[in-house]
Chains A and B, each alone.
Chain A
Amino acid sequence: MISKNKIKATVIVGLLTSLLFPTISTAAMMAPKANTTCTMTGAVVDTGKNTFICLPNANETITWSKALPTAKKAKTSKLEVSMSWVKADPELNMMKMTGSFGVISNPTSSPIRVIGGFTSIATMLGTHEMAMKDGAMVMREKIGGFVIPANSNFSLKPGGNHIMFMGLTKDVEAGKLYKVTLITSTGDRVTFKTLGRVFNGANESYDPGTGDSLKPAMPAGGMSNSMGSTNTGN
């Protein structure tokens, strides 16, 4: 059992490392092995043989997923994503996160679980939910990802389940389309585009109890100044 603070610290170190040295591949830093501890929730590593996703567990540890197919071998998921948009903020700096919303439809007769994914504009992607904790709404990782019931639509919306882009490497701009890929528990993938949109909401606070909580551990100064800023333009 790893302490919460330790997870937090390793997440921060991992995240900072990947931001400071973006050319070093995640794979080079960590050799993923199923069910072993990892350092950045949401990280997706393609070893050339397999894909692993760093996922949170119910006991507040984070571990690598089972070996999933690589991009080349992965099947296209039957899931369909529509009405997708992402909260834009033209004044983001490198550390900022943002939420993406829309509808995931499962036209099949079996439930499908989305466990993670990736986007070209952020170092990590998380499946998040809003939940009550100590009388306040907080955002936290959805342990186990999103389960899309058979023949159903699953809404991703502010104040509810959503996709979180963490460690943005680009400003998210209103009117631009960004490519996103979601990965299911069987390793199938669905790729779609999400539209940057100005939105005043989705400024929820992060639950300090989960591994990806960056806010409380952020160093003072430049980078933290932009945290939680709203997108009022320039």
Chain B
Amino acid sequence: MNNRDLSNRWSRHTLLATVSAIIVGILGGLTGVVVYANFHTTPVSVQKLQGLQDSETLLNSKHSFYGDHQSGIVTPITPYVYVIGMDLKERARDRDHIESLLRLYSEDASMLMAGLPVLGTDPAPMIASSTASLTTTISFGEKFFEYAKITKPKFLTKVPAMKNIDNLDNVWSQTDFVIQISSADQLVLTHAARNFTHDLSTLADVKWIQSGFRGSSAPLNVGESHRTLMGWMEGIDTPDPKDYEKVIWTDSDVSWEKGGTYLGIRRIRFDMDTWEALDLNAQELVIGRTRDDSIPLSGKAASDKPDFTKVDQNGLTLIPDNAHIKVVNAESPEGNILRRTYNYFAGKIGSKDDAGLVFMAYTSNPTKSYIPMLSRIDKGDSLNKWNTHIGSAIYFTLPGAKKGKFIGEEMLQNEN
């Protein structure tokens, strides 16, 4: 076993980087070169994400279950995900059973993430010895708080109907809670999913399992974009890591909500056939960027910030007003979301591919970011012609567990 803990690994990185920064800084001072200008202002959570670009690292890493935040939010993105929507059984819709569920979930998650089989009942214990960056994240819907007789977090509201883009299928609808499991190894991932669903089986039923994948060579840092099955880069308008505290983590008067976040999930089917029938330059006007290099139509490099006011010689904006990147653009950090998006491919419906995105957005306040963004898309995104939203659900993600505690233990203690 060559499991390297990411945080330990990073502490070495930090040390090396700091030493290098000092050396280079001295040299820089001599030669007039400015280096590492913002190094010390970078939040720790972001530092951990840097320098983890190789998939070997991903395969040989493990994350801690314990911490201020749950794993699977700002931890590096792995190529595979299962998102498992579950409902409490009728017999388990009370505080007592909810405590059992949280204890069992946390027990299993802490073992699996540490590379250990689940307590006593693991049907395939040897699979657990590799984690391949396994993360598990549990989030809770409105009903969950109702059953637990706990005042729900205040921004946990229903996502309003989106009349143009929604064609919601009850198969993928809201559940009482959801477990997001991700790993760089599909076997590890499936093993974890089977353990969780089996071990919670007397308390909850699985409503749906969404399976997703990303390119294995896609950037691992959560804030970076990746190329989807459609061939386009996804998630470019992503929050600056220095804004994570504002964009992702909740700040609340309620102590057990602090360090949590909200999770919006959408299953978006994409009409691949008609999209692919469109000429590339027409596709680029729909998106607002070039396909291959992801350059905004107003700029010269992928890193250029899109200029939505820039016009051509005829006075037309280079990026059309209804282009996808303009519609989803967040005007303030608080309006943005952290995307953890995956492709899905679920076979064929007739002659058409059933393919698209498992779109997951983490946000500190969905009423200021996620929901307004969906409304803007609904009103006027030219991509809507090819996008159909077939699933929608929203949850609150509790903060991480303290060592030796289970997720939600503080919430249950404080809300008696």
Residues of chain A whose beta carbon lies under 8 Å from any beta carbon of chain B: 83, 85, 88, 90, 101-102, 157, 173-177, 195-199, 231-234
Contact = CB atoms under 8 A, between A and B. Distances in A.
Most buried by B among A83, A90, A174, A177: A174
Contact of B201 (A101, A196, A198): A198
A146 B281 CA distance: 77
B120 A198 contact: no
A157 B100 CA distance: 23
Contacts of A198: 121, 198-199, 201-202
Nearest to B121: A199
Given A195-B103, A231-B202, A234-B91, 5 more contacts: A85-B120, A157-B120, A175-B104, A197-B104, A233-B201
Contacts of B107: 195
Contacts of B91: 90, 234
Interface in B101-118: 101-104, 107
Contacts of B99: 175
A231 B121 CA distance: 13
- The binding surface of chain B is classed by DSSP as helix
Contact of B120 (A102, A231, A233, A234): A102
B121 A85 contact: yes
Interface of B: 89, 91, 97, 99-104, 107, 119-121, 198-203
B83 to A, nearest CB: 22
A234 B202 CA distance: 7
A88 B103 CA distance: 14
A101 B120 CA distance: 8
Given A83-B119, A85-B121, A175 B198 contact: no
A195 B111 CA distance: 14
26 contacts: A83-B119, A83-B120, A85-B120, A85-B121, A88-B202, A90-B91, A101-B120, A102-B120, A157-B120, A173-B202, A174-B100, A174-B200, A174-B201, A174-B202, A175-B97, A175-B103, A175-B203, A195-B103, A195-B104, A198-B198, A198-B199, A198-B201, A199-B121, A232-B201, A234-B89, A234-B91
A174 B120 contact: no
Contacts of A197: 104, 119-121, 199
B101 A175 contact: yes
Contacts of A176: 100
A91 to B, nearest CB: 9
A186 to B, nearest CB: 29
B97 A199 contact: no
A90 B200 CA distance: 12
Contact of B89 (A175, A177, A233): A233
Contact of A195 (B119, B200, B201): B119
A84 to B, nearest CB: 9
A78 B343 CA distance: 55
A90 B201 CA distance: 11
Contacts of A88: 202
A102 B119 CA distance: 9
A140 B89 CA distance: 36
Contacts of A232: 201
A149 B319 CA distance: 77
B202 A90 contact: yes
A231 B202 CA distance: 8
A5 to B, nearest CB: 36
A41 B384 CA distance: 72
Most buried by A among B89, B99, B119: B119
B25 to A, nearest CB: 50
Most buried by B among A157, A195, A197: A197
Contacts of B201: 174, 198, 232-233
Contacts of A233: 89, 201-202
Contacts of B198: 198
A10 B200 CA distance: 40
Most buried by B among A88, A90, A175, A177: A175
